[in-house]
Amino acid sequence: MFGDFVGKRSDRVKNIVERGAVKKFAEAIGDPHPIFVDEVYAAKTRFKRNLAPPTFPRVFDYGRIEGFPFPVDGLIHGEQSFYYERPLYVGEQLYCYAEVDDYYEKTGKSGTLGFLVLKNYGEDLAGEKIFNATMVIIITEAVRKELAVK
């Protein structure tokens, strides 16, 4: 069933790299560096403003893909990657959306595992791509059975 979603994407959602959210996030990953949290400090750097940590896009709303049964319990996060054209700036606005990139299955000793590849995108208001993120989610047979029953 996941294969049917490959190529489907969500409608883009406008997000803001919110100062308070960046501070809370930087603290939660134990990295409250002034480049992320201190406005006065940041004004003296080459960027003239605060940056967001590279894994901050976890926070954004990417919209929903019609009919896509996520999130569900029991998923395993296998891989994650980020690609940036430039760092994210605190205060900037981005359009974000998600796309189902791929789905495949592999059979091994513990049964057949499903691998779902989801992509997240962030563009500035002019439509320039700023970042993308790829997530590989492992779906066990038990989870697939549960979804099929629903």
Partner 1 sequence: MKLDQLNHGDVLQEIELPPVTRLDLIKYAGASGDYNPIHTIDEEAKKAGLPGIVAHGMWTMGNLAKLFTPFYEEGYIEKYRVRFVGMVFLGDVIRLQGKLMEHAGDRMVFEVRAVNQKDQAVITGEVVFKRY
Residues near partner 1 (CB under 8 A) are 21, 24-25, 27-31, 33, 35-36, 45-46, 51, 53-55, 58-59, 71, 73-74, 76-84, 86-87
E strand or H helix at 75: none
Q: How far is the CB of 1 from partner 1 (least distance, A)?
A: 22
Nearer to partner 1, 52 or 100 (CB): 52
Bridge partners of residue 91, in order along the sequence: none
CA distances for 92 relative to 7, 23, 70, 120, angstroms: 28, 15, 28, 17
Our measurement of the distance from residue 149's CA atom to the centroid of its chain's CA atoms, rounded to an integer in Å, reads 28
C-beta closer to partner 1: residue 50 or 103: 50
Looking at residue 114, its amino acid is: G
* Of the candidates 72, 147, 78, the residue with the CA atom closest to the CA atom of residue 116: 78
Q: Distance between CA 132 and CA 123 in Å, rounded?
A: 9
Least distance from partner 1 to the Cβ atom of residue 89, Å: 11
- Provide, rounded to whole angstroms, the least separation between the CB of residue 50 and partner 1: 10
CB 99 within 8 A of CB 51: no
125 φ, ψ to 5°? -65, -20
CB of 109 to partner 1, least distance (A): 17
Closest separation in Å from C-beta 41 to partner 1: 11
User: Residue 67 or 71: which CB sits closer to partner 1?
Assistant: 71
Q: Which is nearer to partner 1, 80 or 93 (CB)?
A: 80
| CB of 28 or CB of 125, closer to partner 1 | 28
